[in-house]
Chains A and B, each alone.
Chain A
Amino acid sequence: MALTKQEVHKIAYLARLKIDESDVPQYARQLSDILDFVAQMDAVDTAGVEPLAHPLDATQRLRPDEVTETNQRERFQAIAPQVENGLYLVPRVIE
């Protein structure tokens, strides 16, 4: 399983990770090694086996649709990089 440079760039884009061009070959190599390693699982037949999402086969607990939290926006925004009027600031999105 040899990942190409383009595939590495695509994965980095999906993960929103900036990677240096000079690191791409090493990523390709290491990711390919890991994917080869995990391919050992192909040797076992899992037809008819249900995936185990939760180790104790539990399902997601539900609760009544009632408000239980208090608004602590100021407290949580005190540690934000840039806020204004209760909004988080980011570079312009819409031209």
Chain B
Amino acid sequence: MHRKTLIELRDGLQRGDFSSVELTEHFLHRIDTRDRELNAFITVTGELALAAAREADRRRAAGQAGPLTGLPIAHKDIFCTDGVRTSCASRMLDNFIAPYDATVVERFKTAGAVMLGKTNMDEFAMGSSNETSFYGPVRNPWDRERVPGGSSGGSAAAVAARLAPAATGTDTGGSIRQPAALCGVTGLKPTYGRVSRWGMIAFASSLDQGGPIAQSAADCALLLGAMAGFDERDSTSMDHPVDDYLAALERPLDGLRIGLARPFFGEGLDTGVERRVREALAVYEGLGATLVDIDLPHVHLSVPAYYVVAPAECSSNLSRYDGVRFGYRCQDPQDLLDLYTRSRGEAFGEEVKRRIMVGTYALSAGYYDAYYLKAQKVRRLIRDDFLRAFEQVDVLMGPTTPTPAFRLGEKAADPIGMYLSDIYTIAVNLAGLPALSIPAGQVDGLPVGLQIIGNHWDEARLLNVAHRFQQETDWHRAIPADYA
């Protein structure tokens, strides 16, 4: 059952091949026996899952099945789940039982999905390797001495090892796409404002977006349909019509113009990764697409701009963690300042503290113009390069990451080295564009991801373009031998 895609499982449930309870028990058993070696889950909600599965079977029998009824999924531990611990992989929220459901969680519940548990991640979504979690690192199912990527490493690893058929993630600088690439699964970051951020613990408010991580573009289309849409409660949610992503999957690709940005094929790109990506591009040419050389003159500034904007916004968002109303509080605070500084100092990890400090500096008196405002101006230049490119091409393609999965510990002592692993993904968040990563081969047994970037609101096209590749190839069906 774990070798089936979400859509195949949906069809199986519809035909009565198996019940949701059987399906849920199957995945819970896999998690129980195999997750200790991966550490992909922080909380497993076994009892709740079985109760939801029984309810799903009951509704199906009564002819009331919805789009996701009875399908087991996992939620990144950044989404508030009512009555269930929501830790953001931090000591700061280790004791936090969320008093409400995030909109994404609520929408999945309404659609009938069954929550298996909450997946591990980099602390407060800050990281590219899932090594900063308070609960320990997640391991890549393709090679457990290597990272799964981050920050949605738990979700990507869980799907790669088929401990869950699909999961939710969030992406601020690449945190859905990069782990999807390193784990050989499909992950989509929607247009900024497409998916509600209500109840999705904030890291960088102008960059964060929630999205699906699954085995295929078709599965992502099914999930995005449930996740997307205007939400009153998120003041940055955009009131833009939601396309029928499933219906759009089968459109032919004749005449598709694919832009190849020179900076995405430059120095630092592993030759094996480049080879796989060029082979994937050849598949697209065979499907009727043309490749167009384009330039993005300011994209080399995306990592510097991001490492001002994101820490600045994070320093503001994380100021709510003060030991007063919820979360960690230090023992015997002597006075109010001690309460704040020790609660925060003791409960935040190193990377989080580092980013808060960078952000605080960048926003402080005398530096705001030089850093934050400057970065936001550079951000406009970067976005406008993309908008100009989309006048000539329909989508952009390139590698998702410069290398396959690196070893645990390899970049942990080198913050800037770690930041550069997001070099192809970060600009997309600055520009608010949708993008996905699909498996496009392997190098020495490690997955390689192809990134596809679209114009604002063009998720239907992205999923269609990805789906057509997955009809011609079967990289997306590969499962690590240990987990097959």
Contact = CB atoms under 8 A, between A and B. Distances in A.
B322 A16 contact: yes
A31 B354 contact: yes
Contacts of A39: 304
Instruction: State the 3 A-B residue pairs at the shortest beta-carbon distance, nearest first.
Output: A55-B432, A18-B345, A51-B376
Contacts of B298: 44
B361 A31 contact: yes
Interface in A40-55: 40-42, 44, 46, 49-55
Interface string B323-365: 1111001000111111111101110100001101110110010
A90 B336 CA distance: 7
B415 interface: yes
B236 interface: yes
Interface stretch (B9-17, B43-51, B378-386, B391-399): B378-386
Given A41-B374, A79-B96, 16 more contacts: A16-B319, A17-B345, A17-B356, A33-B415, A34-B307, A37-B307, A38-B371, A41-B301, A49-B380, A50-B380, A52-B430, A58-B193, A80-B324, A81-B323, A90-B324, A91-B339
Nearest to B375: A41
A44 B337 contact: no
Contact of B431 (A19, A35, A55): A55
A44 to B, nearest CB: 6
A42 B347 CA distance: 35
Interface in B310-328: 315, 319, 322-326
A12 B357 CA distance: 7
A8 B361 CA distance: 9
Given A55-B206, A90-B339, A11 B379 contact: no
Interface residues of B, number: 68
Contacts of B429: 55
A14 B364 contact: yes
Nearest to A68: B232
13 contacts: A11-B364, A15-B357, A19-B353, A33-B416, A41-B304, A44-B301, A51-B379, A52-B376, A56-B432, A81-B323, A82-B329, A88-B324, A93-B336
B235 interface: yes
B3 interface: no
A31 B336 CA distance: 27
Contacts of B336: 90-91, 93
Given A14-B364, A16-B344, A60-B235, A51 B380 contact: yes
Interface string B292-309: 000000100101110110
B96 to A, nearest CB: 7
B378 A41 contact: yes
Contacts of B319: 15-16
Interface residues of A, number: 50
A30 interface: yes
Contact of B360 (A11, A30, A51, A58): A11
B307 A44 contact: no
Contacts of B353: 17, 19
A93 B334 CA distance: 10
A1 to B, nearest CB: 10
Given A46-B377, A49-B381, A79-B326, A55 B307 contact: no
Given A31-B354, A51-B373, A58-B238, A38 B307 contact: yes
B288 interface: no
A78 interface: yes
Contact of B206 (A53, A75, A79): A53
Contacts of A37: 303-304, 307, 416, 419
Nearest to B420: A37
Interface string A72-85: 10011111111000
B108 interface: no
A88 to B, nearest CB: 5
Contact of A81 (B236, B301, B329, B364): B329
A44 B377 CA distance: 10
Nearest to B333: A91
Given A34-B307, A53-B206, A16 B341 contact: yes
A29 B17 CA distance: 60
Contacts of A18: 338, 341-342, 344-346
A51 B380 CA distance: 6
Contacts of B346: 18
A46 B326 contact: no
B307 A54 contact: no
